[in-house]
Structure formats: structure tokens, C-alpha cells
Structure 1
Amino acid sequence: MLVAPEHRPTLQEELKGLPSRSRWVAIAILALLVLAAAVLLLRGSTEDGTRTVVREPIAFNLRYPDSMQRVEDDTLFHLQREGKDDFIVEPLELPAYEGDVGGVLPIEASREIDRLKERFPDLEPVEEGKVRINRVAGYSLAFRASRKPRLYGRVVLLPEPVPGARTGVKLLLLATPGGGANKARDVGTTGELKTPYRSFRFGTEGP
């Protein structure tokens, strides 16, 4: 095979110029580098954690790290690292509305904050806005749940991706500094909560 002059010397030509012992050492090192790159590529393309599917009353699936444990309670799904973070899925029921669902979500988010204040009396909203989770449009509100102890949270309203949807899920994420959250905006973007939050999908089929 012809090689353009500007691309010379080739690796083969470089190796031929080495003493026999050095050439074999160089080949061994190159082989190890190729193997390491293949392992990293495979690891990067492999989904970490445990995949779970919930079928009723609304179907969804997600993955979660082995460090999180499932809690059996009256929610649709609850993961926890005790004293560090929680990932909770609850049903969402929207009131009747006209037009796009995006118009009713901010109103419902403010109602959700009022409900959360019953649980966290010192709750302070930090930021809110539209969000997409795996192409599904929703609405997110990050908050400080308490100052002592420090606890931060995020609630995401996620209607089913069908026209006129009035049902869906509420994702409630709670994290402490020990769970990787040093401010409200960190919840769901750092630490172990990233995996279930970013992998959440409606239906039973994964990516």
C-alpha cells in the first residue's frame, strides 16, 4: 500500500529501525494500549447498575446503581441511600386543561411546592423551568428543603408523552451533601441520583 510522503515514516518503518529487543517491547506496549482502549470503550458502552421495570399503574423503566436500595412503601417506586439521598416516583394527575400541557405544569408545580412545605416547613424554592428527560417534556423545580441538616431537592412533573395527557409521574429527588449535593441545582446532576434520573423512561422498553 502506497503512503504519501507527508505521512512517513509509518509505524512499521519506525519499528523496523529499532533493535530486535526494543522492537518487541514497543509492540507489546502498543498491544497493551490497544487492549486498554478496548476495555474502556466496552465499559463506556455498558449500562451500569440494575435495570428495573414497573408496569402498573403506569409503565416505566430505569436503572439505578448498586449502592441504592429499593424501599417498599405506598409510592410507585422508591430508591434510597439512608441519610444520603432518595429517588421517589409518584403518580401525577393533572386537572383538565386546554391547549399545550406546558401551560398547566408551572401552575401544578406551585401547588406541588405547597404540598411539599407540609413535609418540609422551611422549604425554599431555588429555580424552576422546563426540562426534558429522554425527549419527554416536563417541568422541574429545585429547592432547599432545610438548612439544618442541609437537605436539597428537586421535583419533576413528567406527563405521559401523548396529546392531552393528564396522567404521568412526579419524580422527587432528595440529597444531602453526603449524597453529592452541595446546592439545590446539584440534585439529579451529581452523585448516585444521576443514574435513575437520567435513565427514566415511560414504557417497558429501555434505550
Structure 2
Amino acid sequence: MSVVRPEFGPTLPEMLGPRLRALPRAVQAALALLVVAVLVWALALRGGGAGAPNGVVIRSPIEANFLYRAPFTRLAPAAGELARVGGGGQTFSVRELRLPAYRGDAAGFLPIYTSQLEREMARAMPGFQSRYEGRANVNQIQGYEIQFQYRPRGRLVYGRRILLLPGPTARQGAELLLVAPRSPAIARVDAVGKNGPLKTSLRSFRFGTERP
């Protein structure tokens, strides 16, 4: 029994039902398969088939890996970089971190080492300003970071330079550089890596070549 009021006429299933039942069984089966294929395709688009993350594996001189997703793509690494991804003006890159010999725990040495890096960045980046420095934690990997801004060609850009070590006394590790122009989504320097594709790459970074 139809739930549609009579004045509105027959429903679409009521109109198509007799015609579909009159079709040969082979045609009915083909139409059913077509409907299933369309549903699978739609679910794939919604569930991340097109937006599923891709992996980057670094094997030398350090072992590390991370993920990236659209709109990021693989980019040619700049001088000294081991890997780079990006898109829309944002980039995520990885370099080897190799510290000079030091005594004690890296937590005590990294602030001293970072001061030297800031002086180098001030010489290389127009309008450089350090906005914050302090301890960092990426997937339970301890380290130290600089949050900064600079103005290439007059445009305000925010960034984070994160130094990570696999152990408290290690000298070799990874240096992550996250860069993003100021935008409604990244209105402050501490928003870098907190949303969008930069968040995916940062949150997925790990030492080693295997995903957990």
C-alpha cells in the first residue's frame, strides 16, 4: 500500500517496478551490479579512497617515516633535505640532525644549540622573529623547537623548526621544518601543524621504517 496521497500520483518505485520486472533476468542482474558499483564508488570517495594518506620512508642517513595526504604531494627536496612534501604554500620537510659532542642530557644542550640556529635563521630569513622556543613532543619523541615568523617578499609566513632525538643522549636525529603562510586556518604561529595536511605529516612522524 502506498503512503503517498492519491492526488500526488504513483511513486517512482510503483512506476518503475512493473517495467523492471518485465526486463530479462540478465538485464536485471546487470542493473543490480551497476547500482552496487555506484554505491561502492561513492563510499570510497567519502571514506578516504581518494584522500587516503601516502607514506614516505627515509632509510639513510637516518631511518624515519611519515604520512601525507592531499592536497600535499611529494616535492623535490631542497639542499640538505631528506624528504619534502607540500602544497598550497605549505611545506613539511625532514633533515638529518647531527649534534656536536656534548655532556649530559640533550634536554640541557638543545636550548644552547637552538640559540645558534636562531642566529643563522635571522641571517637567512627576511624579517625573521623567534616567537617561542621550548621542549617539543612528537608521538612521544622528545625534542626542542623554535616557532618563528618571517616575511619572504613581504608576505607573513609562520614556521616551526623541531629537533627530535631517538634517545636522551643521542647525537643523531631528525629536524622537521613546517612552514605555512598566514591564513584564516593558520592565524597564529602556534596553529602550524595543528590542522590540515601539516597535522597529518607531523602527527605521523616516527623514527624507523615501519608503521605501528
TM value normalised by structure 2: 0.70
Q: Secondary structure at the match of 2:169?
A: coil
Does 1:56 pair with 2:73?
A: no
SS at match of 1:192: helix
Structure 1 segments of 4+ aligned residues over 2 angstroms from their partners: 177-180
Aligned to 1:176: 181
Aligned ranges 1:185-200 → 2 under 5 Å? 185-200=190-205
Secondary structure, counterpart of 1:96 in structure 2: coil
Q: CA RMSD, aligned part only?
A: 2.3
CA contact (8 A) 1:85 1:179 kept: no
Matching of residues 13-92 of structure 1 within 5 Å: 48-73=52-77, 74=79, 75-82=81-88, 84-92=89-97
2:135 aligned with 1:98: no
Code of the residue aligned with 1:149 in structure 2: it is: R
Task: Report the CA distance between 1:163 and its aligned residue.
Answer: 5.0
The aligned counterpart of 2:151 is: 146
Aligned counterpart, 1:120: 125
Please give the secondary structure, in 1, of the residue aligned with 2:196. coil
For residue 123 of structure 2, give the secondary structure of its aligned residue in structure 1.
helix
Structure 1: runs of 5 or more not aligned: 1-20, 22-38
Q: How many residues align?
A: 164
Name the CA distance, whole Å, in 2 between partners of 1:200 and 1:114. Answer: 27
Cα distance in 2 between the residues matched to 1:179 and 1:109: 29
Once the two structures are superposed, residues 90-143 of structure 1 have per-residue CA deviations (whole angstroms, 9 ceiling, x without a partner) of 111111111111111111111112222232131111111111111110001111
Does the Cα contact within 8 Å between 1:106 and 1:139 map onto a contact in 2? yes
Q: Contact 1:181–1:191 (CA<8 Å) still a contact in 2?
A: no
- CA distance 1:175–1:163, change in 2 (3 Å): closer
Q: Do 2:138 and 2:205's aligned partners in 1 also have CA atoms closer than 8 Å? A: yes
Q: Alignment partner of 1:182: what SS?
A: coil
Of the structure 1 ranges 171-180 and 148-157, higher mean CA displacement relative to structure 2 is found in 171-180
- AA paired with 1:52? V
Q: Which amino acid aligns with 2:127?
A: D
Deviations 1:49-86 (A, max 9, x none): 1122111111101100121121223310111214x211
